[in-house]
Amino acid sequence: MTPRDRLLGLTVIVLWGLNFLAIRVGLDHFPPFFFAALRFLLIAIPVVIFVPRPQVPMRWLLLYGFGFGFGQFAFLFWAMHTGMPTGLASLVLQSSAPFTVLLGAVLLREKLSVWQVSGIGVAVAGMALIGWDRSHHAALLPVILTLLAGLSWAFGNLGSRLAAANTVGDPQPMRLMLWMCVIPPLPMLALSAAVEGPTAGWRALSTALSIDGLPSLIGLAYIVLLGTIVGTGIWTTLMSRYPAGKVAPLSLLVPIVGIGASWLFLHETPSPLSLVGAVIVIAGAIATQRRPAPAATVPSSTTPLEPPARLGV
């Protein structure tokens, strides 16, 4: 990876790590499900008007949209609304990495290496340690909700992988990602109306231009423009230039930015035991990305395709 592209990759990590601060600011004003719907709605409207739909089977686009978009952010925003610390949320959400490997083995019958199995075990141990620690300091429910967000993200990864593999012509991952954003708004608005009330989100939106509500609009703008469009756009470009194994592990640096930013700006201080669990989870997630060295045989004329990398929040 060139120094320029490495710098671009680190830029994405900073954008995605700070994204959790923007989510926290938005949730201080908006109900969680309505805020998640608004995030995708602002992208979906121009996409439907200006971006041609990728030629992928609808079932895989729906799996991608409901997993990555609807499930992940419904659970994540709910978790943070009910007390999940911002920095810790950025860490526990990385459970999507071992979940993706595990679901790929169970549902797609992908073979697991010893490194991947070991990594899953280590990551689960780290998450269990964080959950045990949180159960002694606060409610366990936010941790469980964040884990469900990571599991939803993993299902979205499978949908993304299957959609890219079954696209007619050029996969065009950026277009696929943009059309994924079309799926969540309507079901998320329905969930918001059922749980938060049909007018709660719209009342919050009507007061967002006030002095108290303005930070939430800035947070929303950050999530849409910098976290999603710029961050994911750069990430997609890097994925088109390099193997997934060189790019995807960079996302494991997101919790470092997320935890550091929440400590600096929100004065969140994770317990020592949670930090130990964080290191264990990241180590396990890194191990799931490791591929065994190829055997010394005669080179084949075909090369297996790299799976699409995970997209960030």
What rounded mean pLDDT belongs to the chain?
83
For the chain, give me the number of helices (H) and strands (E)?
Answer: 16, 0
Q: Considering only CA atoms, which of 124, 41, 131, 39 is closest in space to residue 79? A: 131
Largest CA distance in the chain: 68
Q: Is 203 domain-assigned? A: yes
Residue 159 clears pLDDT 60, i.e. is over it? yes
Q: pLDDT by residue (tens digit) across 185-228?
A: 999 999 999 999 999 999 999 999 888 889 999 999 999 999 98
Q: Considering only CA atoms, which of 112, 108, 109, 111 is closest in space to residue 120? A: 112
Give 163's pLDDT tier (boundaries 50, 70, 90): confident
Report d(CA 269, CA 262) in Å as an integer. Answer: 8
Q: Is 102 domain-assigned? A: yes
Torsion, Cα of 127, 231, 5, 1 (10° steps):
40
Q: Is 89 domain-assigned? A: yes
Q: Is 75 domain-assigned? A: yes
Q: What is the domain count for the chain?
A: 1
Q: Is 299 domain-assigned? A: no
Residue 305 clears pLDDT 80, i.e. is over it? no
Domain range for 110 is 3-289
What is the model's pTM? 0.84
**From its phi and psi, is residue 188 left (phi > 0), alpha (psi between -120 and 50) or beta?**
alpha
- Residue 291's pLDDT is 58
Q: pLDDT by residue (tens digit) across 268-300?
A: 877 788 778 878 877 877 776 665 555 444 444
